[in-house]
A and B are shown apart, each in its own frame.
Chain A
Amino acid sequence: MTLKLGIFYFLAAFTVWAAAVVVLGKNIVRAAVALIFSFCGMAALYVLLDAEFLAAVQVLIYVGGITILLLFAIMLTSRIGAKAARVINDQAFLSGIAAVGLLAGLIYASTFGIGAMAGPPRLPETAPFLGRALLTTYALPFEVVSVLLLAALVGAIILARKE
């Protein structure tokens, strides 16, 4: 198991490093590129947790879709790529507190455990299980979320139209 642990630490360090570049990088395009690496690291961590479906979806949606749209928006905004972004602003203190609080919560949860966080049983294949769960047990939340997304989409189109 030491190999798996080693890989985990390596991937974790890589992900955290990439995330740090996203937050602290001055160049917005580089930050976006680092975000891609961070997402890939996350996907690899999912693979280590036997959540292969989640990993693939992570890459497909977050890397292949969202980050590319992000980059697209950055490039369409003229000259934003050339400007150095301000990294620290006046909300730094608040967000620092939020980050530290979140970290503390996570450490507590992973050391002492919370009842609700006990994961589902290990499955040989996650995809069929996920599919069935989404279309039976969680059908209503699934539909509600999709309606929400649709509303967001319509809103975005209305905002983007000039007239």
Chain B
Amino acid sequence: MTPEELLEQVKQKFGDTVTESEVKGVEVRLTIKPEASWEACRFLRDAGFEYLNCLSGADWMTHLEVVYDLSSLRHPNKVHLRVPVDRANPVVRSVTDIWRAANWHERECYDLFGVRFDGHPDHRRILLPEDWVGFPLRKDYADERLVPYTDYGMEEKLPRPEAAPGAPKAAGPPKAAAPLPPTEP
């Protein structure tokens, strides 16, 4: 099965829940609405993608995103599946019943981004202490202990290439939003 055929199948099956799609080499890149994400994962697993390489999150300021990287041990195709979720109420259905590997990945994603995984068997923080406040990898997370990046003025001096369309703007240093409650217990 070529990546193109796979993409066709997915599009047929999931119709307009597939908002973006692209084939890049052996990799199929998909964006799917959260309500169809579990079914899509299930479909892809049955299509031979039995190996969940990575599950990560990203904060696009407007929305959060859960990213699944899938591959197969039998054929070279890969899938890069992105599921945008609402920032205020980030819930997506857990895929731990499809790949057990998702267990700790989803816990990490919850820990650092605050995405809730519906149906996760052990929904706890994993890297941070259990009483930590806030989700540190969100772009608006502020912490006075965080050392911001400084380029000593290099950014302005050098010519700036055109940003690709659709790409987000550079986030810049975190804006001092409403101060958070102290994190020290």
A–B contact at 8 Å CB threshold (below): no
